[in-house]
Amino acid sequence: MARTATALFLLALLLCAPLASAVDGRDADVIDADQTLTEDTTYNEGFTVTNGATFTVQADLTLGEDAVIRVDQGATLDLQGGNLTGSDISAYMAFSGGASTIELPVQGLTGTSTVRLMMSSILNGSESLTITASTGENISDPTGDEVSLQVDLGDGMETLTLNVTHNHPFPFGPMAVEVVDSSAQLERHEAWELEGTSLVLTWGAAAFSIDAQGTLMIADALVRGADIRCSGTCSIDRSTMEGSAPIIAEAGASLSVRSSLILGSRTDEDVVAVDDATLVYEDSSGTGGWTDAWIRRLSGRTVTTNMPGALVSGSDLGYKGSKSPNAFAETMGDDVGVDLGSSEMTRIVEWLTGDGVYGKEEGTFTVTATTGWGTFATTVPAVWAPSTTVNLELPMIEVVAIEVEERTATVNKSLGVMLTVRNSGLADAPSPVLECTVNGEAADTSPSYIQLSTYGGLAANAEMDIPLTWRMASDGAHVLACGVIDLSGTPLAPVEDLVTSDTGVTGAEVSWTYAEEVEETPLMTIVIALVVFLLGVAGIARVAAARSTEEEHEGEEEDEGKTFPEASDEEPEDEPAEEAESEADSTAEPNEAAPWDEA
């Protein structure tokens, strides 16, 4: 008998095991096995679905204040047809504009009744608030956090209308409205249940939160007062989300909203897709008005570049292309750039308005640098990413060849040189400056600095030949080197390796010599020839002078020896012979001392 009782007890435990598991699951903080909940339950602090488990809820759940529902990666929360509601919901129906109406169902209430409006803020009488009931009673400039109005419902009516006027710049209104009649019957209407005209349901802090890192499925359900963040896969189908917006789809997540109604958002949008999150929004309606159905918002807006100190600017950025921020690039960790996303409006790149109008950003990023070589700018379309790289297109200036006119040259005399300069960069170079050196010292060239602006600048992917002259003040073998001037202390200094590939190119070695060494032999020849010429001129002059003296001497002798012949009987034949002999003697004496012989 005892054995039979024991067996029956064990059998009962086995049969009740699944039910016990379900009950334990409702009260547990952690759900790590597949479970289905079919009874209405309250979780004061929330619960966690983990370990790949699937928690199916087919009942109403109430969450305590600030409770957290967590769905770990690989786990699933499947809410089917139930209600998920916070126990402490913060919301109020704001009066929109200066005049509004509230329609209160009061069927079944009779006699003198009290209407109480629990206000969202404490009134001080400066709001110029006046509330007039359709039964004729009114109250003006009330104070405090509650407004009470006595009305006469008579034998009963279906609807009591409250006409509200005010002159307050900030939104405010009732969080709830209660009507208590003469028999103490109470009708309470929460903010989200109020109807009327010129009213905007405004939600405060969420009552509880859902952190869906795994899979969240909501179908044919009502969720009220939740803060939903999806970083896994989430779907909302044929459901109503009251005061549970914005629904956030984090970067990399997937969110679909189909045939659903989203009412009341704590911000200006019902759904937010972050960065590259996948979003499907079909056949659904949102809060409307100034609240967008959905937006795509970047988690950041950083622009990095290759040019420190450059001006980075955006144009037509953000929501409706309304932002054009700018800043100078500075060091950001290992990068150089700026943060243009300090304003959320700058980071909204895609949206669907409350009126169903689709829009997207079509902006640009521009990087501009002003340098001694000119102003360089690069503009690109703005991409929808938290970080964008916009590298400035720069020139690449290099001297590729130095041709000297001769391999030998004279000190202090000019030697022709031809430079070949190339721009292999992506940008035109209006005014780079080159210089030449010899042994690291400034070379004596004309021009001293080669300014490409003189030649109209150098276009991208182009070359030019530049003539100049070179002089040396000392002899010896020297080499001319030319390149871009030192960029230290200039805006181009941080990107020197991007604008010039080398510090300089050298030409062929030139042998410089002094002019005296080259002209010594010809000069001596000229001096010797000049001396010989002068001596010759002197000799000729002396010969000419000697001849003139001799002719004068001979003339005097002829004048002194001339005699006239006397008459005589002797024959004169011998006289001519004697005269001839005398002339012969006279002629022989000068021949012995001729002037040129002496010379």
SS3 149: strand
Nearest residue to 285 via CA among 267, 269, 257, 262: 262
Amino acid at 26: R
Strand partners, 541: none
> What pLDDT does residue 561 have?
43
> What pLDDT does residue 344 have?
92
CA distance 243 to 261: 11
Q: Based on the number of CB atoms within 10 Å of its own CB, is 15 exposed (0-12), middle (13-18) or buried (19 or more)?
A: exposed
> What pLDDT does residue 502 have?
67
> What pLDDT does residue 515 have?
84
Strand partners, 351: 295, 359
Q: What is the pLDDT along the chain (599 residues), one digit of tens a residue?
A: 344 444 444 344 334 433 333 333 334 489 999 999 999 999 999 999 999 999 999 999 999 999 999 999 999 999 999 899 998 888 899 998 889 999 999 999 999 999 999 999 999 999 999 999 999 999 999 999 999 999 999 998 999 999 999 998 888 999 999 999 989 999 999 998 899 999 888 888 899 999 999 999 999 999 999 999 999 999 999 999 999 999 999 999 999 999 999 988 889 999 999 999 999 999 999 988 888 999 999 999 999 999 999 999 999 999 988 888 899 999 988 899 999 998 999 999 999 999 999 999 999 999 999 999 999 999 999 999 999 999 999 999 999 999 999 999 999 999 999 999 999 999 999 999 999 999 989 999 999 999 999 999 999 999 999 999 999 999 999 999 999 998 988 999 999 999 998 656 788 899 999 986 444 445 555 555 565 467 656 656 665 565 555 554 444 444 444 333 343 344 444 443 344 344 434 444 444 443 334 42
* Other CB atoms within 10 Å distance of the CB of residue 578: 9
457 Rama class: left (phi>0) / alpha (psi -120 to 50) / beta: left
> What pLDDT does residue 547 have?
54
Element (H, E) at 234: strand 233-237
Amino acid at 147: V
8 Å CB contact between 31 and 47: yes
Q: Based on the number of CB atoms within 10 Å of its own CB, is 357 exposed (0-12), middle (13-18) or buried (19 or more)?
A: exposed
- 83-86/387-389 β-pairing: unpaired
> HSE of 502 in the Cβ direction (CA atoms, 13 Å)?
14
Q: Cβ neighbours of residue 229 under 8 Å, at least 6 residues apart?
A: 209, 210, 211, 212, 248, 250
> HSE of 301 in the Cβ direction (CA atoms, 13 Å)?
28
Q: Is the pTM of this model over 0.85?
A: no
CA distance 435 to 442: 8
> What pLDDT does residue 4 have?
42
| Four-CA torsion 138, 140, 144, 147, nearest 10 degrees | 10
CA distance 480 to 21: 92
8 Å CB contact between 159 and 104: yes
Strand partners, 203: 91
> What pLDDT does residue 89 have?
86
Element (H, E) at 551: helix 515-561
8 Å CB contact between 112 and 130: no
Sheet arrangement for strand 302-304: 330-332, 335-339, 302-304, 387-389
Buried b (16+ CB within 10 A) or exposed e, 102-132: bbbebeebbeebebbbebbeebeeebebbbb
Amino acid at 507: G
Please give the structure tokens belonging to residue 585: 């003697």
| Four-CA torsion 394, 395, 396, 400, nearest 10 degrees | 180
Please give the structure tokens belonging to residue 194: 């109020």
8 Å CB contact between 150 and 112: yes
Q: Can you give the length of the chain in residues?
A: 599
> What pLDDT does residue 533 have?
65
Q: How far is CA 392 from CA 292, 305, 306, 373, 424, in A?
A: 37, 7, 6, 14, 15
- 226-230/208-212 β-pairing: parallel
Q: Based on the number of CB atoms within 10 Å of its own CB, is 567 exposed (0-12), middle (13-18) or buried (19 or more)?
A: exposed
Backbone angles phi, psi at 591, to 5 degrees: -65, -25
Q: How far is CA 300 from CA 251, 315, 563, in A?
A: 12, 17, 146
